[in-house]
Structure 1
């Protein structure tokens, strides 16, 4: 199985005998979103939340389900993060529609051929990366933000890692249950990283990335926590907030992210 086919894996990559991870969950319990959709820079559709006076912008890269109704937990998480940072480090959050209205269909979750086609098309990382970098640059140049950070889930976690290499416009970043991670991702980092894998990410690769970060000059400004009681996707489209443990760790990771982005002061 290729790395691309493992993105948002329906089967655990670190424990093949484990049950399949949950499918996307559409239930959002009537949550009322605080943000709005708008056209920003090079994207026609961006979910925007957080105070207008903020000088720090956070670009959030969603998972393969995009703005699908099943991904409401990702948008809710952005609202929570903006609220958590409001009094300490006011942050405007931007979640661009990097798939341009073409997310991965949830009914193809177990179809490797559909994923292969998806990852060679609209979700091709090398094609989407320049667009995200241009978006970050525009936030600084044209929208008055002095600092721009990045956060990614699953596929978006890999894209975030790729965006934090030499010449990056991001001053720091974070990844939550990232997909397709490789040992060299840590070696290429040039800015601090908040790293929050689930039980399903490859443990050896996680270890190698942490070892690489430990050698960096920004090691003491990075953060790490393994969420070993929850599945891949627990903080984004696969979150089931009716499950007590999922809800507990969902709330915890957004508190931790708020603490990280405040403390790193990039």
Structure 2
């Protein structure tokens, strides 16, 4: 497995992050927390019976309310077309980045070197997918921010049938070069322009190009569908709903 220096080179451009994590609104999640594979805590949402699964990799804030809302919405959309069950493993093992320390660069650096160390977490995600593949026709992956990087690295292998990412972090040209499975690619206005354009161009060159999908959500910020979503903002809410419908359409099409 590649080292963190290779996975996440220091020169990788960072997204602009100006929006705080969202406030709690009392949303009641539709899913349940279960023990699945090697993870004691996995958020599971979707119909009881499904032939397809999606592994969801959260952002650094873990099981945040707006993230749970989005996963439930995606599962509901997919139930109307091709039912998928969503599995979000607690890859941080109960220790997400503390929101009250948001912006603390030293703590974030330490977090990425320990709890969120990609060269440690990526093999665990791949192993989790292998566990699910015994029970489903297809297993795909969906990642946000830090989880988006996990998604892109995973799609350099044949582990997943397909994948999608919203506002991925630490993206580089190599993510496009190494892409080996279909990708739904949905960056925000805050992701670095050059690697976004490079990955989008590379998707068109792949033998599976027709199975890929790309939209730049240039009216919303990094994190608009994850923990940094501001659903009181009309444009954020509009594009939050829009991308979850697009994700559902994408997974239904590519996994048909």
State the TM-score, normalizing by the size of structure 1. 0.90
Q: CA deviation at 1:122?
A: 0.9
| Alignment-derived partner of residue 119 in structure 1 | 112
1:5 & 1:96 partners in 2: Cα distance? 27
The corresponding residue for 1:198 is: 188
Deviation at 1:110, TM superposition (A): 1.3
Q: How does 1:6-155 map to 2 (within 5 A)?
A: 6=14, 12=16, 21-28=18-25, 30-67=26-63, 71-141=64-134, 144-155=135-146
Q: How do residues 205-244 of structure 1 correspond to structure 2 at under 5 angstroms?
A: 205-244=195-234
1:4 & 1:93 partners in 2: Cα distance?
A: 30
Q: Is 1:165 matched up with 2:156?
A: yes
Query: Which residue, out of 226, 236, 247, partners 2:237?
Result: 247
Partner of 1:16: none
Cα deviation per residue 1:7-55 (whole Å; 9 max; x = unaligned)? xx5xx2xxxxxxx521111223x32211000100010000000012101
Whole-angstrom distance in 1 between the partners of 2:24 and 2:91: 23
Q: CA RMSD in A?
A: 1.5
Normalised TM-score (structure 2)? 0.93
Deviations 1:230-258 (A, max 9, x none): 10000000001011111000000000000
Per-residue deviation, residues 94-122 of structure 1 (Å, max 9, x unmatched): 00000001111112211111111000001
Q: What's the CA shift for 1:265?
A: 2.2
Do the aligned residues in 2 keep the contact of 1:4 with 1:116 (CA within 8 Å)? Answer: no
- Aligned-partner SS, 1:177: strand
Q: Mapping of 1:182-197 within 5 angstroms?
A: 182-197=172-187
Unmatched 5+ stretches in structure 2: 1-8
Change in CA separation of 1:38 and 1:4 when aligned onto 2, cut-off 3 Å: farther
Matched residues, number: 248
Moved over 4 A (4+): none
